[in-house]
Chain A
């Protein structure tokens, strides 16, 4: 049970949005889909849901073709940056229609979540602020009860309280009945503790797809005086270095060598997902 994306390429005019991308999204996992602006994250999600067509490659969902297939698409739910609901539609009506199209949609849960977030169900979708628009989308995604939920920039415009509430409800829902979640976001630090697997896309290519723990265990951070750090870095695979005055922080692939002579006076720390992402995508 998985989504298999094989050798997908997509070009928009002069821009090669995706190049020969192959990814597997397994069931009941939370994925972080990370990439810089224009890396191809949204394009990938739109391809998965058949909103646009790939130039080449295949997408299968639980063994059957995913595109133009109602049964396969019924297992997927994408909440993209802009909703595809009519502007004049009210929130309550959108919930009802979601219930018609998705048999598993939990209307009571959606209404309860709307209450938790303070979303008026009588409001028109087009009249919602950016934050409440995101909340509306999140409520739909959390209530739809399908095996694969894809969230493109889910926390756009949300204040800290609402973000916290969303993460809490997402984990509750996941703990109650696991499902696959793909979180495409730029707020890496916030989702770092949520995601199990990380997919990093750079310029239309998949740079990394592995578990967060495995990814982070491949490197570490070391900081200290510029000269000491410089000496320590000799012969090591360095991802990048940040400097602030006389202090330096280096991001290194491999295992920390704390016993080395040059390691004295240095501080070692596990690799941070956001730092690793920045270093990997800056290269």
Chain B
């Protein structure tokens, strides 16, 4: 029972932010349509949506960073166990990702529809289409990209976005729970440590080019293995979601209430 109410609360908690995000995107289209009649022949009034899921992934990450503390405390105030809260979070995360994936595709289709009437001002393809359904043709020094959109790519775009966003949300939530659990010193070590480690790692690779030369191909091979097709991407994202969520639960199961 509490899982259902906690799920509802967590979903409602994120709804306004999602509304604002898509409100801004749709607002940009409306503004463009308003200014279109006043634009001169040489005006550059174009809305391109080449893979809206990429900015949505950033948005979903930020959304997840803000999803823990308030709803966790609210749950604790109302007798929701950590286990129920976590289960509700998994459900809410899935629901939010599904909503975002569908909304992204609707937005892409909306712009694609407008491009029929205003071909110079609107242009859109989903991230899935750009990554997996595009061909690059080279003629001389110019490159031409052609993207194949069909009915099935529309559906697969939603699947692609859903799994991608799921992994991103799970990662964001893990970070925010980790941040909640850490004390002040731990937070300083973590948030100063990562950039420090990155700089030190870059310097180390710079000093050891043979290592960099073998690492880059390994990373490319890993990316091919895990992301080269949609099923592989889905499995990879699902596995990442499972790992991130597992770690989140380990952190959350003994989380104290901290106001």
Say whether B224 faces chain A, with CB atoms less than 8 Å apart: no
Question: Which residues of B49-81 are within 8 A (CB) of A?
Answer: 70, 73-74, 76-81
* A49 CB contacts on chain B under 8 angstroms: 76, 79
A97 to B74: give the CA distance in the assembly, Å. Answer: 9
In the complex, the answer to whether A101 meets B78 with C-beta atoms within 8 Å is yes
In the complex, the answer to whether A70 meets B2 with C-beta atoms within 8 Å is yes
Asked if A70 meets B77 with Cβ closer than 8 Å, knowing A46-B257, A52-B256, A84-B257, the reply is no
Asked if A82 meets B80 with Cβ closer than 8 Å, knowing A97-B9, A100-B8, the reply is no
A74 to B79: give the CA distance in the assembly, Å. Answer: 6
Partner of A86, one of B5, B70, B254: B70
| Chain A at the B interface: SS class | loop
In the complex, the answer to whether A84 meets B81 with C-beta atoms within 8 Å is no
Question: Which residues of B1-47 are within 8 A (CB) of A?
Answer: 1-2, 5, 8-9, 13
In the complex, the answer to whether B81 meets A85 with C-beta atoms within 8 Å is no
The residue on B at minimum CB distance from A88 is: B70
Say whether B83 faces chain A, with CB atoms less than 8 Å apart: yes
A77 to B76: give the CA distance in the assembly, Å. Answer: 10
In the complex, the answer to whether B79 meets A84 with C-beta atoms within 8 Å is no
Say whether A76 faces chain B, with CB atoms less than 8 Å apart: yes
Question: Which residues of A51-95 are within 8 A (CB) of B?
Answer: 51-53, 68-70, 73-74, 76-77, 82-86
User: With contacts defined as CB atoms under 8 Å apart, how many contacts are there between chain A and chain B in the complex?
Assistant: 60
In the complex, the answer to whether B80 meets A97 with C-beta atoms within 8 Å is no
A97 to B13: give the CA distance in the assembly, Å. Answer: 12
A68 to B2: give the CA distance in the assembly, Å. Answer: 12
Say whether B82 faces chain A, with CB atoms less than 8 Å apart: yes
Say whether A50 faces chain B, with CB atoms less than 8 Å apart: yes
Asked if A74 meets B9 with Cβ closer than 8 Å, knowing A68-B82, A84-B76, A84-B77, the reply is no
The residue on A at minimum CB distance from B253 is: A68
Of the listed residues B5, B9, B13, the one surrounded by the most CB atoms of chain A closer than 10 A to its CB is B5
Asked if A70 meets B80 with Cβ closer than 8 Å, knowing A46-B257, A100-B5, A101-B2, the reply is yes
A70 to B73: give the CA distance in the assembly, Å. Answer: 15
A101 to B254: give the CA distance in the assembly, Å. Answer: 22
In the complex, the answer to whether A70 meets B79 with C-beta atoms within 8 Å is yes
In the complex, the answer to whether A70 meets B257 with C-beta atoms within 8 Å is no
In the complex, the answer to whether B81 meets A73 with C-beta atoms within 8 Å is yes
Say whether B84 faces chain A, with CB atoms less than 8 Å apart: yes
In the complex, the answer to whether B256 meets A53 with C-beta atoms within 8 Å is yes
A77 to B81: give the CA distance in the assembly, Å. Answer: 13
Say whether B184 faces chain A, with CB atoms less than 8 Å apart: no
The digit string for A95-129, where 1 denotes a CB below 8 A from any CB of B, is 00110111000000000000000000000000000
In the complex, the answer to whether A68 meets B74 with C-beta atoms within 8 Å is no
In the complex, the answer to whether A101 meets B79 with C-beta atoms within 8 Å is yes
Question: Which residues of B216-257 are within 8 A (CB) of A?
Answer: 254, 256-257
In the complex, the answer to whether B78 meets A97 with C-beta atoms within 8 Å is yes
In the complex, what's the smallest C-beta–C-beta distance from A66 to chain B, in angstroms?
A: 10
* A86 CB contacts on chain B under 8 angstroms: 13, 70, 73-74
The residue on A at minimum CB distance from B73 is: A84
Of the listed residues B78, B82, B254, B256, the one surrounded by the most CB atoms of chain A closer than 10 A to its CB is B78
Say whether B259 faces chain A, with CB atoms less than 8 Å apart: yes
* A76 CB contacts on chain B under 8 angstroms: 79
A53 to B77: give the CA distance in the assembly, Å. Answer: 15
Partner of A101, one of B13, B80, B81: B80
Asked if A85 meets B257 with Cβ closer than 8 Å, knowing A70-B79, A70-B81, A74-B79, the reply is no
Question: Which residues of B73-98 are within 8 A (CB) of A?
Answer: 73-74, 76-84
In the complex, the answer to whether A51 meets B74 with C-beta atoms within 8 Å is no
In the complex, the answer to whether A68 meets B5 with C-beta atoms within 8 Å is no
* B84 CB contacts on chain A under 8 angstroms: 70
In the complex, the answer to whether A85 meets B74 with C-beta atoms within 8 Å is yes
* A52 CB contacts on chain B under 8 angstroms: 256-257
In the complex, what's the smallest C-beta–C-beta distance from A68 to chain B, in angstroms?
A: 4
The residue on B at minimum CB distance from A82 is: B259
* A73 CB contacts on chain B under 8 angstroms: 79-81
A235 to B77: give the CA distance in the assembly, Å. Answer: 52
* A53 CB contacts on chain B under 8 angstroms: 254, 256
In the complex, what's the smallest C-beta–C-beta distance from A215 to chain B, in angstroms?
A: 32
* A70 CB contacts on chain B under 8 angstroms: 1-2, 79-81, 84
Q: Lowest 3 A-B CB distances belong to which pairs? A: A73-B79, A101-B78, A84-B77
20 A-B pairs with C-beta separation under 8 A: A50-B82, A51-B76, A52-B256, A68-B82, A68-B83, A70-B2, A70-B79, A73-B79, A73-B81, A74-B1, A74-B79, A83-B77, A84-B259, A85-B77, A86-B74, A97-B78, A101-B5, A101-B78, A101-B79, A102-B78
Q: Footprint of B on A, CB under 8 Å?
A: 46, 49-53, 68-70, 73-74, 76-77, 82-86, 97-98, 100-102
Q: Footprint of A on B, CB under 8 Å?
A: 1-2, 5, 8-9, 13, 70, 73-74, 76-84, 254, 256-257, 259
